[in-house]
Structure 1
C-alpha cells in the first residue's frame, strides 16, 4: 500500500497479496497500524497531497488525481477532515515559505506521467525480450502486484 498509494487499490487484492482473507487482513492491519487499511491509505494520500500543494504548481484537481482520489469532492472532504483546511486554503497558507514551486509539467512527470502516457512521456514499452537474441519472440510484462 505504501508503494502503490497513488494507484486504485482493491482491498481484496491487497489482502490476497498479503496472504490473508479480507476480514483477517483488516483486523491484523488495524492491530498493527492502529487504523483500518482504507483510513491509512487515505491519510498517506493526503500527506502526499500536502507535499504537492506546497511544492508543485499543479491545480487541486490534478493533485487529487495524482494522489489516487477519483472524486474531487471526496478528496476535499477528506483533506479538510485531516488538516482542518481545504486544499486551496492549505496551499494559500503554506506556499511561498520555501523554494519556488516546481512547474506542473515536471511534477506530473515525476509523479508518474501524464494521464494515459507512461512516465517519461514516450510510447508505452509493454514488451520485453525473452533473451538477448534479436530474433527472440517478445512477451508481455506482468506485474507482481495486482
Structure 2
C-alpha cells in the first residue's frame, strides 16, 4: 500500500470516527470533508471507495444499529427511539429501518430478545448489512 493511500485511509477513518461519535447530529458533509482535509465531493467519492458505502448510508446504518439496541433493551417508544438516534422524521426512520432489516421497528421489537451476551459481541453479530445497490 502506498503512503498516499495509507494517508487517505487515515483521513477517512478520522471522519468516520467523528461520525460514530456524533451520529445523532445532522450529517454535515463539508465539516466531515474538513476533518479529512479534502473537498466535499472528493470526500464522498473517497469515503465510498474506502468503506463501500456513502457517508449518508453509513450514518443511517449506524443510527439503525443504535435503534436496534434501544428497541431491544429499553421501553422507549418507537418515536422516542427515532428521535434519540438522530432521525427527525418517524416516516424516514421506519422506511430506513425496514430497508436495512426487512421489517418495521415495531416488528423488530416484538421479535427481538434482550441481550444476555456482552454488548460488543451482540453488536458484531447483529450488525445490519449495507443497503443493496439501488436502496435508499
Decide: shared fold, TM above 0.5.
yes
Q: Which residue in the other structure is 1:60 paired with?
A: 78
Q: 1:70 aligns with which of 76, 79, 88?
A: 88
Q: Is the 8 A contact 2:27 2:56 kept in 1?
A: no
Q: 1:85 aligns with which of 82, 103, 110?
A: 103
Give me the whole-angstrom Cα distance separating, in 1, the residues matched to 2:27 and 2:50. 19
Greater share of helix residues, 1 or 2?
A: 2
Q: How does 1:6-85 map to 2 (within 5 A)?
A: 6-85=24-103
TM-score, normalised by the number of residues in structure 1: 0.64
CA-atom RMSD in angstroms? 1.6
Give me the whole-angstrom Cα distance separating, in 1, the residues matched to 2:116 and 2:110. 13
SS of the equivalent of 1:2 reads helix
SS of the equivalent of 1:7 reads coil
Displacement, 1:17? 2.1
Structure (1 or 2) with the larger CA radius of gyration: 1
Aligned residues: 99
Give me the whole-angstrom Cα distance separating, in 2, the residues matched to 1:73 and 1:97. 27
TM-score, normalised by the number of residues in structure 2: 0.69
Consecutive unaligned residues of structure 1, counting only runs of 5 or more, are 100-146
Q: Is the 8 A contact 2:73 2:115 kept in 1?
A: no
Q: Is the 8 A contact 2:78 2:105 kept in 1?
A: yes
